[in-house]
A and B are shown apart, each in its own frame.
Chain A
Amino acid sequence: MAIPVTTTGLPESTAAIGSPLRRNALHRITKAIRTNRKATIGVVLMAVFVFVALFPGALTRRDPSTATTLVFAHPSAAHWLGTDNLGRDVYAQVIDGTRNVLLLAIAVGLLTTVVAMLIGVAAAYLGGVSDSVLNFVTDVLLVIPIFPLLIIIAAYLPNAGNYVLIVVLTFTGWSYTARQLRSQALSLRNRDFLLAARVRGERPLYIIIVEILPTMTSLLLASFLNNALYAVLAGSGLQFIGLGNSNNVSWGTTLYWAQQNNALGTGLYAWVIVPGACIALLGAAFAFINYAFDEIGNPALRPLTAAKVRKAAEATTKRRLARGARAS
């Protein structure tokens, strides 16, 4: 069920084969990315991080977890970002950590969306008591402060690796999307095309997958991007306070060691600046793509260029003149 989300969502993964309709959609998406500045920034940033995650060997030969005797080194030609308390190369950690962070973001983005879809659509479709119960659970998770809850859960799971983080972040992150999907599904319930499908005698699963889900593509895409951003920030936050696995190479963990060793007080600024900037840039990539899709879907939000303003003003004047001519 998650497959339509990714293929329609991420333009890079959409194969250009298939019906002319699909090629047309692909063309529209690439054009949107080229013309919307926020989308361009987001996609370019994302492409860089995906490249680093796939081919870390192209950027560094060093192993990020090999300890050396050269501890707390300032940036130099040999160690571009210096070394940490165990003499490990910080640059290698940043490069190698990319894969873990990206994996966390994409996995949590997909899983939360799938869970939200199952719960939201099920609640709307089943109605009655099941709806009330599912809705209550959704609302509770929505108002309980999530980050303290994450801390509590992580505290009972010492040395949580990437997979544990994925499960925990998914468990706490699906509620907002579920709520949106539920109201979307509710608003669809009595539409003619669904009645038609029911009259045709289609099975409920067919109706949900073929008839209801395609109407939610933009919501699902927004959910994926939002939750991926949430996973990057919350996951790095947990690692930063030492609730991740401290041997796992990840940006949050690198920052944890920097904080533990008072990197700011001892002038090892690169150790702090670069991993944090990477988190911010990856988060920004998700946020920019999300905001751009919002703009593409809702033209009212788009920034107006001077030319467009002029054109709109001319159009209004013309319309007014035409109306005036008709009236007289």
Chain B
Amino acid sequence: MRFIIRRAGFFLLTLWAALSLNFFLPRIMPGNPINNIISKLHNVTPAQERAIEHALGINNKASIWQQYLSYLGNTVQGKLGLSVGNGGEPVSQLIRQALPWTLGLVGIATILAFIIGTSIGAIAAWRRGSRLDGALPPLFVFTTAIPFFWVGMMLILIFASVLGVLPSYGAYALGTTPSFSIAFIGQVLEYAILPALTLLITSIGGWVLTMRNTMVTTLTEDYVRMARAKGLSSSKIMVGYAARNAILPNLTGFAMSLGFVVSGAILVEYVFNYPGVGNMLLTAVNNVDYPLMQGLFLIITVCVLVAILLSDIATAILDPRTRTAG
């Protein structure tokens, strides 16, 4: 419990650091962000100008520290300001529309990558020295080095441009209204195949290699030899003794891999024009929509921190040793 509270405290501090980055970055960069926006947009209304100033926490009358405090206060209350584009809609509203798409896509792809990757890694380690184990690590070393967006483009090339069997654009067909009907859900799944496959192909390698390398070490442990001596079946030793212990470092590696998947998801959403937060972030950057950009960065950070905290809790439950160690 103490461990969890300490981690949660650390994440609050991290959140504060992210907020401060959001606040100070536009101020230390060359050029004036307000002028950047105004020069890019034509006819800026005074309301929009106020929205921009509000989002960046800029208030020429107050001192920088007063601005900083009021920015922190506003953000904590969920007031993320108004978008510069998108008809001046509140940033929080826009994020609420985009977030479920990303959570669904990244969530499913990550869980699948974890399950499939860990299983492949376990089997490769178990069959150490076989032809399978000779071929798998190099293959997955290679897949970790392929750029996400290019994998997406290649899948579009194969399945959409040449074969024409899968859609490559958006999250559902243009003109349909989202609903909870079976037809619509089926369509969403169909549209998610290629983006999810892209994330899967590029992120699975990390799981396979970590799992294989830890399990190779656990297989030499005495308790595995003990299990063999007891005459337990191979599958029981592999799953219940070796893999079960090798999976813990993999779970700790979750934090690292999540950052990787999130960055991949941004590019993948862009390539497939998927209506999630990543694509919205890039659109916001192109439109110099700083309020939306900052709000999205914040939300992505919060999601990643929550996910890491959950994996920390899971590790603490599964492995008593982590509760005492930092």
Contacts and interface: CB of A to CB of B under 8 A. Distances in A.
Interface stretch (B71-79, B85-93, B149-157): B149-157
Interface string A225-258: 0000100111011001111000000000001000
B301 A148 contact: yes
A91 B81 CA distance: 46
Contacts of B213: 301
Given A146-B259, A148-B262, A151-B282, A229 B294 contact: no
Given A145-B259, A156-B33, A303 B267 contact: no
B138 A144 contact: no
Contacts of B33: 156
Contact of A229 (B145, B157, B293): B145
A242 B286 contact: yes
Contact of A291 (B31, B134, B141, B160): B141
A78 interface: no
A145 B301 contact: yes
30 contacts: A140-B14, A140-B17, A143-B305, A144-B301, A145-B258, A145-B259, A145-B262, A146-B259, A148-B281, A149-B21, A151-B282, A152-B21, A152-B293, A152-B297, A155-B290, A157-B29, A158-B36, A232-B145, A233-B145, A237-B267, A255-B149, A259-B153, A259-B271, A279-B147, A280-B146, A280-B147, A287-B142, A303-B128, A303-B133, A305-B129
B267 A291 contact: no
Q: Tell which of B145, B220, B256 has the most Cβ of chain A within 10 Å.
A: B145
Q: Tell which of B11, B161, B296 has the most Cβ of chain A within 10 Å.
A: B161
Interface of B: 10-11, 13-14, 17-18, 21-22, 25-26, 29-31, 33, 36, 128-129, 133-134, 137-138, 141-142, 144-150, 153-154, 156-157, 160-161, 209, 213, 216-217, 220, 255-256, 258-259, 262-263, 266-267, 270-271, 281-282, 285-286, 288, 290, 293-294, 296-297, 300-301, 304-305, 308
B262 to A, nearest CB: 5
Contact of B266 (A142, A151, A156): A151
Contacts, number: 165
Nearest to A279: B147
Contacts of A143: 11, 14, 255, 259, 304-305, 308
Nearest to B300: A148
B259 A269 contact: no
B282 to A, nearest CB: 5
A99 to B, nearest CB: 19
Contact of A140 (B13, B144, B304): B13
B67 to A, nearest CB: 18
A243 B285 contact: yes
A175 to B, nearest CB: 11
A269 B154 CA distance: 9
A304 interface: yes
A279 B150 contact: yes
Nearest to B266: A147
Q: Interface residues of A toward B: which range?
A: 35 or more
B62 to A, nearest CB: 22
Contacts of A242: 286
Contacts of A157: 29-30
Nearest to A285: B145
B164 to A, nearest CB: 12
A325 interface: no
A276 B141 CA distance: 17
Contacts of B308: 143
A145 B26 CA distance: 18
B14 A156 contact: no
A288 B296 CA distance: 35
The 7 closest A-B pairs by CB, nearest first: A147-B263, A283-B145, A276-B150, A304-B129, A156-B29, A280-B146, A284-B145
**Chain A interface, DSSP helix/strand/loop, else mixed:** helix
Contacts of A279: 146-147, 150
Contacts of B259: 143, 145-147
Given A139-B10, A287-B145, A145 B304 contact: yes
Given A145-B262, A237-B267, A304-B128, A287 B14 contact: no
A151 B292 CA distance: 13
Nearest to B219: A300
A136 interface: yes
A27 interface: no
Contacts of A158: 36
Contacts of A41: 138
Given A241-B282, A255-B150, A38 B156 contact: no
A148 to B, nearest CB: 5
Interface string A150-175: 01111111100000000000000000
A64 B13 CA distance: 48
B85 to A, nearest CB: 14
Contact of A240 (B11, B18, B142, B149): B149
A280 B150 contact: yes
Q: Tell which of A277, A284, A305 has the most Cβ of chain B within 10 Å.
A: A284
Nearest to B289: A155
A151 B220 CA distance: 44
Nearest to A153: B25
Contacts of A269: 157, 161
Given A143-B305, A286-B145, A306-B129, A273 B154 contact: yes
A280 B145 contact: yes
Q: Tell which of B13, B154, B294, B296 has the most Cβ of chain A within 10 Å.
A: B154
A179 to B, nearest CB: 11
Given A38-B138, A144-B18, A233-B148, 19 more contacts: A145-B263, A145-B304, A148-B281, A151-B281, A152-B294, A153-B29, A157-B30, A232-B145, A234-B263, A237-B148, A237-B263, A241-B270, A264-B161, A267-B161, A272-B157, A276-B150, A276-B154, A283-B145, A287-B145
